[in-house]
Structure formats: structure tokens, C-alpha cells
Amino acid sequence: MVINDVINHTPENLSITEKTAKIDATGMYYKDLNSLLRSLDANGIENIEIHNVYGQRYIGTDLDNHINIDIYGTPGNDLGSFMKGTNITVHGNAQDGCGNTMDHGKIVVHGRAGDLVGHSMRGGKIFIRDDAGYRVGIHMKEYLGKRPSIVIGGTAQDFLGEYMAGGVLVVLGLNMKEKVHNARFVGTGMHGGTMYIRGDVRHLGEEVAVAELNDDDYNILGSLVDEFCSYYGLDAEKILQSKFNKIFPVSSRPYGNLYAY
Amino acid sequence: MKNLAKTNNPYSDEKVFDACSIFGMMNLKGERFSAKDPIRAMANMHDRGNGLGGGFAAYGIYPEYKDDYVFQIMFLDKEAKKKTARLISECFNIVNEEEMPTQEANVTDPPLMWRFFVQPKESKMENQSPDDFVMEKVTRINTETGKAFVFSSGKNMGVFKGVGFPEDVAEYFCLEEYEGYLWTGHGRFPTNTQGWWGGAHPFSMLDWTVVHNGEISSYGINKRYLEMFGYNCTMQTDTEVMAYAFDLLMRRQNLPIEIVSKILAPPLWSEIKTMTPENELALRALRQTYGSLLMNGPFTIIVAHESEMIGLTDRIKLRPLTAATKDDMLFLSSEEAAIRLVSPMLDKVWSPRGGEPVIGRLETPVAEATA
């Protein structure tokens, strides 16, 4: 392993044992942190713990190997953006744009997330234990075998699934007192993909309809809820007993012919 | 900025996407604390701004002059100072005046800065309240010479702002030497107007201050409406209308923030239609009466005055805001990390809904909005 570069880079912040690296990110500039992660990734490190994270942006961006990153603290905006295979676990809350344009890999947040979770995501999975902010899954898309999914354990705010073009979005509402998600404009502009919502939704966009789940839906939902519960020590069976609503677009590619005819 | 040449960046993606940063921190018991934490929090969001504006508002910082209005004024030339000082001494009894204490710091072209602790001369007030009298004189100073601008004009508070990153502006004004119970901060990434000392945030009138992330595309309409009430926009930045709108609606018209937020960021018509008949009527009346004060465009603001700190976003939340509480402290911030840096353990953290204010009031517990 050629890790001399890495060690010279920030010796006081880094300790490496075999294939595991520990970084103290106190006061570390985000570009330096992400450069360090790229070097560690390129040098065969498989597990990285980052401690004292306070808002460093883009953590995990561009990483394309199947490494594990554990983040302690509050990672900054666009966590895991453009990520291509890494597993990120956040021991804390995520800010805005978590998983922005993520391609492959996984983000598991043991806390809440801000706005724009999974913005333009095109592959991989995101799990948020608690609530998420506005515009979860905006512009999410799928193509052939690539199908991104997001599971929110709590509730999500307005414009959930806005302009969604593909993928699966699950909202479990586990912490809600009432059974109605307070979100407005859910699925506005949605023209692809599926949402599964546990409980009812206050206000839907004009481009979507609600249906009961069929067996295929339950297969997809079941495996996502199982995985969700495995991270947070929850009972999937109990959660799946509740009523879910499927929200789907009533038209697909509504402007597909706009420039063609 | 760090030396980018030193970093291993094979992607040459040096372009950084920016946005303004805003932060607010209030002790609901009115206990004062130093500027250190608000400065650290703002410095943590350094990259959101670009050094073309930074500033802070602080409340409770002049207890020895707590009954006097404090005019913190920038002068672009000495002539303007002379003229303004003459106006002030004609209309006010000057309790004290001094050059603002400053030190060397990484700021750009600081103007001459002066503060006056004053009391309105009763003989000069014509059936006006002292606040209205001060507002009129502040507007006059700001328009008269084109070279004198009042940064702040409230009691026991002050605005400190300029061209530089917030942490540098704080150093310039020796802010760490001040103690207040409520601080707001701003790091600027100018969008439509130039970076100059008067254009930095916070904007203020009397003790009302506003820091803002976003753009107010209704600026022209708002500005003309406010002119009818004696406000003149002179700072060349859209946010100025916010400060005057709060002074008009909350101080002069005595409306509570719950109503004011429905004027600035009214629910959409489609929402109004689904309300109870009474609420629908009330919301229609507000939109009809105050249509010209609707703030169009994306925004998050933190508004403060003597006893309140308020966070508000546009109705569809196009700019970020995180709120948090810890014991007697209320925090509002563009990013949660900035809050965590100064208070790693928090009682509650949440994302406020668009158009619904988060309100910190002295001696009042904070109500957490439902998700």
C-alpha cells in the first residue's frame, strides 16, 4: 500500500490501522477532507471514520469504490453527491442536498435531514431515521436497471417527490402523532417512479393519483422497510401492517411529444 | 480561502457554489453573552459568502446608555460628517459621541465610522412619538448628502457591518468585546447589487434589523409602497425594504408577527381556498390590503428587535433555515453545523415550514412548529 502521500498530507489528523483510517476533521477545510478521502480510497483503505465533522461539504463526492465511511458530527450540504458505490453512515443529522445526484451506494442517517434529500438521484439508496425537509426526491430518476430509493422514517415536508421521474420514495411517518402527513404539493410535476406513504397525505399535486398497493408494490416496499429496520433496530412486520398509500403519476412524459410533432 | 494549489483536486472543479449565510442566537432570559459564538458560527459558513459583505446585529450591548438612541453612522467624506453632526445636534441632545472603536482587519476600504448616543429634543418633536421622530431624521440623514448612512438607530443595540467576510468584519469592529443577549449575523454573496459598506446586512430602522438570504423580486413594488409611509431606500440592496416593512407593520401598525408573516409570505390562493370561512376572509383581506408588501422571490430572513428574534422563509421555502433550542437559547441558521459548533448538544432541531415564523420572545418558551 502506498500511503505515504496520504500520511504526509495531514499527519496530525490521520491514523491508519491496516485497512481502517481515522480522521479528526476538526477545523479541516472541506476540499482537504475530500482530497484525503480520495487518496485513502485510491490506496486501498476500506473503512474510514471521520470525527468532529462540522459542515464540511460534499463528503464522499466522486468516490467510486465500495468503502465504508462513518461520519460523527454534522456533515455539510450535498453529502455523498455524485457518489458511485460508497456506504456512508451518519451518526448525527444531515443537512441539505444529502445524496445529490448520487449514482450508486448508500447513505444511512441516524437522525434527521434537511431539504432536498436525494436531489436528482439516479441510483443507490438513502435511509433517514427521522424527519426530512422540503423537496425530498426532487428530480429523482431511473433508467433500465438503475432505480434509486429513499426511505424516510419520520415525515417529510412540502413538494415531496417534486418532478420525480423515477425511483422509489417511502415515507413511514413513524414519529407522527396524527396519521396525516402535513406535506403539501406532494408529487407536483411527478411523471415517473412511485411513492409509498404510510398514512394519508394532506395535499397532493395535480399530476398524481393514489392507489392501493398490489403484490409487486408490497415486494418492493417490504424489502426496503426490512433494510430500513435492520439499520435502526425496528420491527418491519409491525410497520408493514399499517395502511400504505401508493402515489403514482397519472401521465408519463407529458411533454415527450412537444418538440417531436 | 485556503490555498487551493495545495489540495489534491484532479477534477479542477474550483468553482464553488455560494449562497448567503445567516445565523441568529438569542438567550430567552435576556442574559448577555459575548460575540465569540456567533462569530465562530458565521465563520463556519465562510464558504457560503464571498467576502463582499458581512455583518452582525447585537442587542443589549450598551447597558450604560440603555435609554438613549444610538446612531451608528458611516461617512463617505468629512463634509458629510460635518453636515450630519449639525443636523443631529439641532434635533437631539447628544449624550456621548465617539469614533467607532476599530482595529486592523482584512476588510476593504472602511469608511469613517461614528456613533452618537442621543435623546430627541422635545422642542423639535411635532406631536410625534420619539420613535417616529428618529425614523424621520434617520431617513433625512440617509438621503440628504448621499454620503452619510445610518447603520443602526435603536436603543441598547447596534449594527456592525462592512465589506469583508463576517469574521473579518467582526474583528474590525472588535466585536468580541461586546456582550449581548441576541445576536444575528450575515455573510454575503451579492446577487443583483454591488458589495459596498451600506449594502452589507443587517439592514435596520430603529431597533429592527433584518438579515436575509435570497432575492426580493418585488423590490420595486415594496419600495414604492414604503415611500408612501416616509421610508426612502438608499442602500442599493433589496433587503432594505424588509427592515422598513417590519418597522411599519410591527412598530407603527402594531401587528403581531403571526399576521405580518401572512402579509410578507401569504399562503397561496389554492391554500386559502381550503381554509375555514373566517380564515379565508381574513387572509383575503390581508392580501387585498397589503398586496404591495408581499415579498416575492426566494427568501429566508432573521428579524430582530429589542424583545424578539424571528426566523421566516418564503412560503415555498426556497432558501434554507434550521431552528434549534438548548435550554434558554434559540438558534436559527442557514446550516445546522454552525449551530452544533457552538452548542454540540441541542434539545430540539427542526426545519421550519415555509411562511411560518419561528419566534423567540424574551421570557417566552419557543413553540416548535409541526413538521
State the CATH number of the domain containing residue A249: 2.160.20.60
Q: B75 has which bridge partners? A: B112, B148
Provide, as residue numbers in chain A, all residues whose Cβ is less than 8 Å from the Cβ of B335: 55, 76-77, 95-96
Q: What dihedral do alpha carbons B277, B278, B279, B283 form, nearest 10°?
A: 100
Round to whole Å and give the CA distance between B205 and B192: 22
Q: Is A59 within the bounds of a domain?
A: no
Kindly identify which residue of chain B lies nearest to residue A160, measuring between CA atoms: B316
Q: Any chain B CB within 8 A of the CB of A189? A: no
The pLDDT tens digits for B347-368 are 999 999 999 999 999 988 787 6
Q: Is A236 within the bounds of a domain?
A: yes
Q: Is A22 within the bounds of a domain?
A: no
Q: What's the structural domain count of chain A?
A: 1
The mean pLDDT of B46-53, rounded to a whole number, is 90
**Considering CB atoms only, which of A74, A155, A203 is closest to B371?**
A155
Q: So what's the pLDDT on residue A188?
A: 95
Round to whole Å and give the CA distance between B310 and B369: 13
Range of the domain at B262: 4-369
**pLDDT band at B80; cut points 50, 70, 90:** very high
Q: Is A64 within the bounds of a domain?
A: no
Round to whole Å and give the CA distance between B319 and B334: 8
Kindly identify which residue of chain B lies nearest to residue A77, measuring between CA atoms: B335
pTM of the model: 0.93
Q: Which amino acid is located at B8 in the chain?
A: N
**Considering CB atoms only, which of A9, A131, A158 is closest to B354?**
A158
Residue B20 among the catalytic residues: yes
Q: Any chain B CB within 8 A of the CB of A22? A: no
Q: How far is A231 from chain B (nearest CA, A)?
A: 22
Q: So what's the pLDDT on residue B14?
A: 55
CB contact under 8 A, B338 and A55: yes
Length of chain B: 371
Which ranges constitute the DSSP H helices of chain A?
Answer: 4-9, 30-42, 215-232, 236-240
CB contact under 8 A, A29 and B336: no
Interface test with chain A among B8, B15, B339, by most A beta carbons within 10 Å? B8
Q: How far is B89 from chain A (nearest CA, A)?
A: 49
Q: Any chain B CB within 8 A of the CB of A82? A: no
Which ranges constitute the DSSP H helices of B96-249?
Answer: 130-144, 166-172, 219-227, 240-246
β-bridge pairing A47-54 and A20-24: parallel
Residues of chain B with a CB closer than 8 angstroms to some CB in chain A: 2, 4, 7-11, 44-45, 47, 271, 274, 316-317, 320, 322, 335-338, 340-341, 349-351, 353-354, 370-371
The mean pLDDT of B299-323, rounded to a whole number, is 96
How many beta-carbon contacts under 8 Å exist across A and B? 86
Q: How far is A114 from chain B (nearest CA, A)?
A: 7
Q: Is A251 within the bounds of a domain?
A: yes
Looking at chain B, the whole-number percentage of residues with pLDDT higher than 70 is 94
The mean pLDDT of B80-107, rounded to a whole number, is 96
Provide, as residue numbers in chain B, all residues whose Cβ is less than 8 Å from the Cβ of A74: 336-337, 340
The SS3 of residue A208 is: strand
Q: So what's the pLDDT on residue B16?
A: 61
Round to whole Å and give the CA distance between B265 and B315: 5
Q: Which amino acid is located at B57 in the chain?
A: A
Q: How far is B248 from chain A (nearest CA, A)?
A: 31
Indicate if the pLDDT at residue B17 is higher than 90. no
Asked if this assembly's ipTM is beyond 0.85, the reply is yes
Q: What's the structural domain count of chain B?
A: 1
Q: So what's the pLDDT on residue B204?
A: 94
Q: Is A242 within the bounds of a domain?
A: yes
Q: Any chain B CB within 8 A of the CB of A167? A: no
Which one from B20, B91, B174, B233 is the annotated catalytic residue?
Answer: B20
The beta-strand segments (E) located in chain B are: 21-27, 33-34, 54-59, 69-75, 92-99, 112-120, 148-152, 157-162, 179-180, 182-187, 203-205, 208-214, 299-305, 308-313, 322-326, 329-333, 348-350, 358-361
CB contact under 8 A, A95 and B335: yes
Q: How far is A81 from chain B (nearest CA, A)?
A: 14
Q: So what's the pLDDT on residue B225?
A: 97
Provide, as residue numbers in chain B, all residues whose Cβ is less than 8 Å from the Cβ of A39: 8
Q: Which of B260, B143, B283 is nearest to B208 (CA)?
A: B260
Query: What nine digits make up the cell of B17?
Result: 457554489
CB contact under 8 A, A157 and B351: yes
**Per-residue model confidence as pLDDT tens for chain A (261 residues):** 444 444 455 568 899 998 899 999 999 999 999 999 999 999 999 999 999 999 999 999 988 788 999 999 999 999 999 999 999 999 999 999 999 999 999 999 999 999 999 999 999 999 999 999 999 999 999 999 899 999 999 999 999 999 999 999 999 999 988 889 999 999 999 999 999 999 999 999 999 999 999 999 999 999 999 999 999 999 999 999 999 999 999 976 667 777 766
Interface test with chain B among A5, A71, A184, A203, by most B beta carbons within 10 Å? A184
Provide, as residue numbers in chain B, all residues whose Cβ is less than 8 Å from the Cβ of A162: none
Query: What nine digits make up the cell of A130?
Result: 427521522
CB contact under 8 A, A55 and B349: no
Q: Which of B2, B341, B167 is nearest to A29 (CA)?
A: B2
Interface test with chain A among B47, B271, B336, by most A beta carbons within 10 Å? B336
Q: Which amino acid is located at A42 in the chain?
A: A
Q: So what's the pLDDT on residue A4?
A: 47
Q: What dihedral do alpha carbons A76, A78, A82, A87 form, nearest 10°?
A: 50
Q: Tell me the CATH number at B312.
A: 3.60.20.10
Round to whole Å and give the CA distance between B184 and B105: 20
Range of the domain at A193: 112-258
The pLDDT tens digits for A7-22 are 455 568 899 998 899 9
